Structure 1
Amino acid sequence: MFGRVFGRSKPVPSTLSTLDKLNETLEMLEKKEKLLQKKIALEIEKARDYTRAKNKRAAIQCLKKKKLYETQVEQLGNFQLRIHDQMIMLEGAKATTETVDALRSGATAMKAIQKATNIDDVDKTMDEINEQTENMKQIQEALSTPIGAAADIDEDELEAELEELEGAELEEQLLQPTTTPHMKLPPVQNYSPPAQVPVQRAPPQRNAEDDELAALQAEMAL
């Protein structure tokens, strides 16, 4: 019933859809302005032709149309300025809205983090960490403390013994001669390779058959 009396509320258009509509309207107005500019140029050309033909009345009519077209062009220019102004305002409002939404989201996230993290829990955790760190330091100091025979050693006695060793080493270095005689190397003898001895081959061994053959050849020769 209330809807019939007061009318149903229309959905609010988004900023992007409104900007798109304004852009379309702006393009339409620019096309109309270009068309009117062409008509103005045409009326001026017609007025010149009528003037050359000595038709003054027709020339005046063309100039009147030109004036009407110019008035429409001026109105279209004002419309375009209004649309540009509206677009700038909407773009600024859109940027502002997005910024506010981002800040609101950040604030919500911070509240959620603070709600999930109790300051008392943080303090308790830090106390536990400090206590554990102190305990660990005490444990390390206890482990590094010498025990048994090592604990009975006197550090001052060790320092005095080390000084005596250093003094003895320095005295030994002072007693050493500054220069040492060079050792003579034995003379280098000329090396000559040994003479090659001819290898004497052993005479071939003679067997009984060779002796008999030599004796037979001697008899035949006689």
Structure 2
Amino acid sequence: MSMFKKLFGSKEAAAPIQQPTVSAANKTINCIQNLDDQEQTLEKRKNLLEKKIDAELQRARELNKQGKKNQALLCLKKKKLMENELTNLDNMILRIVEQRQMLEGQRTTVEVMSAMHGAAQVGKANLKSMNIDNVDKVLDDIREANEQMEQIQQVLGAPTGMSADLDEDELLNELEEMEATDLDAELLEPAPVPTNRVPAAKLPAVPTQKAKTEAAKSPEELELEALQAEMAL
């Protein structure tokens, strides 16, 4: 049994859900519309009765003032009958509202269930296209490819040719011997002797006799000497 079958297990095929037909949906819509029309008709009848009740009550008061009690009582009886009918109308309107709400709720539920059923069918189709056995095979192929790649990398990373014959332990021993030799040479080398000599300070240069003589001459004398030198040439 594959990994996915172990994980999800096997389920018995559930009974298919019957989708609502277009005619059934249309019947529901028509029925709701019919209930709305009936409610409007009853509301109109109710408004008319309320006006008649007010009129009979007003007439009974006028007849009673005129001393016509029998006619006033007749108006009150009519009023009472219309009030009873008004109560019945209220009850019928309430029943219509309840029936309409029930149908609207059923319609919403059917639409939601239809959408969920469609989504479930699409999900089943997707699972069939994937095929759990094929998924297991793909995973096995991926694992096999990874193992082969690891083997290839190990082969490529292994030393070949002359480097494969080199003994790393021998090279490490040689490196340790070199480090020990360098350390012994450093220990045997004498330490440098520090010197406390102070560098001699530079003395100012002593001017020569010629410089002293030239410095003692005036500018006029120097100019005269230059003129004599030109005439000699």
Smaller-chain TM-score range? 0.5 to 0.7
Q: Which has the higher contact order (CA 8 A, sep 6+)?
A: 2
132 and 46 in structure 1: CA distance in 2 versus 1, 3 angstrom threshold? same
Match of 1:94 among 94, 107, 129: 107
Pick aligned residue for 2:97 from 81, 84, 87: 84
Post-superposition Cα deviations, 1:27-74, rounded to whole Å, max 9, x if no partner, equal: 221122122112212211221122222221221121111112112111
Deviations 1:123-166 (A, max 9, x none): 221111111111122222333334445553627828965xx59x
Q: Which runs of 5+ in 2 are unaligned?
A: 1-22, 187-233
- 1:50 lines up with 2:63 in the alignment: yes
Opposite residue 110 of structure 2, the aligned amino acid is: T
Do residues 130 (structure 1) and 135 (structure 2) align?
A: no
Residue 157 of structure 1 aligns with an amino acid whose one-letter code is L
Residue of structure 1 aligned with 2:27, choices 2, 9, 14:
14
- Which residue number corresponds to residue 157 of structure 1? 172
TM-score, structure 1 normalization: 0.60
Does residue 60 (structure 1) correspond to residue 70 (structure 2)? The answer is: no
Show CA shifts across 1:65-89 (max 9, x none).
Answer: 1112112111211211221221122
Q: Work out which of the residue numbers 35, 42, 67 in structure 1 matches 2:48.
A: 35
RMSD between superposed Cα atoms in Å: 3.4
1:54 is paired with a residue of what secondary structure?
coil
Q: Write out per-residue CA displacement over residues 100-119 of structure 1, whole angstroms, 9 at most, x where no aligned residue.
A: 32332233223322332322
TM-score (norm 2): 0.57
Distance 2:51 2:72 in 1: 17
Distance 1:67 1:46 in 2: 14
In structure 2, C-alpha distance between the alignment counterparts of 1:159 and 1:36, rounded to whole Å: 121
Structure-2 change in CA distance of 1:79 and 1:147 (3 Å): same
**1:70 equivalenced with 2:52 (yes/no):** no
State how far apart, in whole Å, the 1-side matches of 2:172 and 2:89 are: 108
| Percent of matched pairs sharing the same residue | 40
Q: 1 CA distance for matches of 2:75 and 2:83?
A: 12
Structure 1: gaps (5+ residues): 1-10, 172-222
The total of aligned residue pairs comes to 161
Partner of 1:103: 116
